[in-house]
Structure 1
Amino acid sequence: MFIARRKPARCIYFLLAVLLITAGPAHAAIECRFDDGSGGTTTLVNGISSNNIRWSQSSGPMNSSDEVLLATVELTLSPSLQSTCSMGNDGEVLKEKPDDAYVRAASAYDDNANWYYTNIPGIYFTAKIYSDAGGGFFKSSNSSSDDGWVVVEADHNDERWKNKTWKALIHIYQYNYEFSGNTSGITTLTPKTSFSLGQMAIGDRTDSNNKPWTFNVTPTSFQIPIITTTCQAAALNDGSTNIDLGDYMLADFNQSTRSQDVYVQLKGCNNLFGADVKITSNKTTGSSNDLLGNTLTSNAASGVGVKLMAWTYTQLIPNSSTETRYSFNTGSNTTADILSFNAQLVKDGNPMKAGDFKAAATVSITYY
C-alpha cells in the first residue's frame, strides 16, 4: 500500500514540471529600438539610380493624371543606422511621422506614400526606410490620433528588428497633370533642397530608450543624370525648306481654295518631350496682318497672301503667340511632326494684280 500511494504523486509532479517549462517563455516581453534608443538624425546618401532619366510621352499638363515611374534609387544612411532588441516592455511596433514641409500630395502607388519635391516641377519622389526585415514609405495619416504617427509595421513580438541595418529606397515619378517638360534644361535630377522626410521610431517612442530618428535629404542625396534632349535636323516633310503653291490665274481665286499640306519635322531626336513653336514673318498682309505677304518688288503680284491653317481648323497667325506641342515619342533617333498645317494662296482684300509671288516665314522651334 505504501508504494501504491506514492505513484500518483510522482506523476503529478512530473506533469507540472513539463507545463511550467513549456509556458515560461511565452510571457517574456521584447522591445526594440534604433541604435542605442537615444534618438538622432541621419541623411540619405550615395543614391544609385536604376537608370538615367528619360521622360515618358505625354499629351501635356492637365490632360492626364497618370503617374509614371521613371527611376528607382537605392541609398544608404549617414550616419549608418542599426536596430537592436532586448528584453523589455516597450514593444517593437514601427511607426513614422512625415514632415509635410516639402510634400506635394499622396501617390496612388507605394501604399499612398508622400510625394516630395524635386528640382523639376511635376517630377516627385517617394521615400522608403527599410531593412531586410521590413519597413515602409513615409505617408501622411488622415487621423488626428497619436499626434500624426502612422503604424508602418505592427508589433509581432518576434525580434524581427534585431541587429538590422537600415537603408532607403526612392521612386521617381512623372506626374503628367503637372509636368510640362524640362524647359530649363536641367541636367541632373535632385531633391528640391535640403529638408526632412520625417521621423521613425521602434517601440514606445515616448520612452527614454526608444526615441525617434529623423531622416533628411539634401540635393546630393541623389543626383540622377537626365538624358539630354537633342535633335539632328529640322525640315519640311519632303526634306526641303520651300513650299511650291503652283501657278494661278486670277479667275482661280473665285473657285474653291487650293491648299498644300505641310509638316514641319524634327529628325534624329532623343528624349524629346515638348516643343514651343512660333511663326514669324517680316512681310504680312490682310486686314489683320494674318497672311504672309509678297516679298518681291519686281513684277510682283498683289491682292493675295498665304493663309496657314492648322489641322485643328484654326488659323496660324504670323508673329503671334508661341504654341506648345506635346505627345512625342521620347525614345532615341525619332522623327517628330512638330507642326502640321496647310498653306493656301487667298485674296487679302486689296486690288488684285497678276505677277510673281514669294512669301517667307520663319518657324522657330525650341524643344526640350
Structure 2
Amino acid sequence: MPGTFKRIRRRIWLILNILVVFWVLLGVLCLQVPPHEFWPAGFLALTLPGALLLNVLFLLYWLIKRSWLLVLPLLVIVLGWGYYNRLIAFNLGENEAPEGARTLTVLSYNVHVFNAYADRDGSEREASSEMIDWVATHPADVYCLQEFYSNRGSSIYNTISRIGNRYDKHRYFSVSFVDRNKADIGTVIFSRYPIVNKGVIRFGESSHNRAIWADLNVEGDTIRVYTAHLQSMSIKSQDIENTYSAIGNEESFKKEGRNLARRLKKGFVARGHQVEKLLEHIQESPYPVIVCGDLNDIPTSYTYNKLARTLQNAFVEAGAGIGATYNGPLPFLRIDNQFYSEGLRAIRFETHYEMGLSDHFPITAEYVLEKE
C-alpha cells in the first residue's frame, strides 16, 4: 500500500512537471505573436517567468528525490537558457577594453520630468536639483533621457542649460508637448561627440511616445544612437494598491482586475506597433546602432523579443543579477534597456541604484568599437 501511494504521488508530480513544460513552451510561442493580432498572447507571455521558476523548482525536487526525471526540467533549462539569461545575467567580473581600443559609454535614464510636477509647493526642489546635477556630471559620453523636462524660465528646471550648455554637450531634443508652465517635455540625446545627423520616429499623431536618433561622429567613425520611450503600462501605484485592497470583496476585486487588464491590453497592442516601426528604421541604418530607452515591457514580451532577435542586449552580455530598473511597487521589473548591433561589444553594464529619485533607475553600458 505505501508503495502504491508513492507511485501515485510520483505520477502526479510528473504530470504537473509536464504541464509546466507545456506552459514554458506556450509562453515562448506567445513571444512571437504580435499583440495587435492576438492580444491574449501578451498576457500569456507575461507569465513565462513564473513557468521558468517552477521548472527550476521541479529540477530541485527531482534532484532531492534522486530521480532520473530531473532530465525533463534540465532539458528545458538547457534548451531555454537564453530566456533564463534574459531574466538573470551571470557575467562575473568586469571585461577590460583592449589596449588602444576606442570605447563609448552610454547613459539611459527615464528622468520622470525630474519630479517637476511633484514640486508645486517647492518641497521637491532639492531632490530635483540633485537628480539634475547627477545627470549633468555623470561621466558618460552619451546621455539618452526620456520624459525629459526643461523650463527656460526656471533656475532649477532649465535643464538644457544645466546639463547641456554648461558642459559643452551637443544635443538633439525632440519636444512631445509644452505644458501650461511653458516647459518643454520630450526625449533628448546629449553627446560629447558631434551630432552629424538626427531624426524622430513618431508613433502616431496623438501619441507623446516616440523614438529619436542621432548619428555621432566618434573619432572618425559614425555610430547611430536611438532613444525610445514606448507606450506606458498606465498602471500607477494607486491602481496596484486598490487591487490588493479589493481582495476579499469579489465585486470590487473584479472591477479593479478588469481595469488593470484593460490597461495592460492597451499597452501590449500599442508597444507591438511601436517596436515594429522602430525596428524597421533600425534595420535601415548604414551604421552600427545602440538602442536605449524605456520599453515599458519586461524581457519576456513581444516588444523585447522583437529587438533581441536582431540586436544584442547590453545587460545580458555584460551585466549581473536581476538588473531591475523600475523603482516602484512592483519588484524585479527590468523595463529599461540598451541593445546594440554588430560593430560594437558591451564590456560593462551598471544599474545605478544609488540614484533613486525617479520611478526608474539609470543604466549605463560601456561599448568597445570593434575594428572591421
Instruction: Give yes or no for TM over 0.5.
Output: no
TM range (shorter): under 0.3
**Going by fraction, where is helix more abundant, 1 or 2?**
2
Question: How does the TM-score come out when normalised to structure 2?
Answer: 0.18
Question: How does the TM-score come out when normalised to structure 1?
Answer: 0.18
Larger Rg: 1
**Going by fraction, where is strand more abundant, 1 or 2?**
1
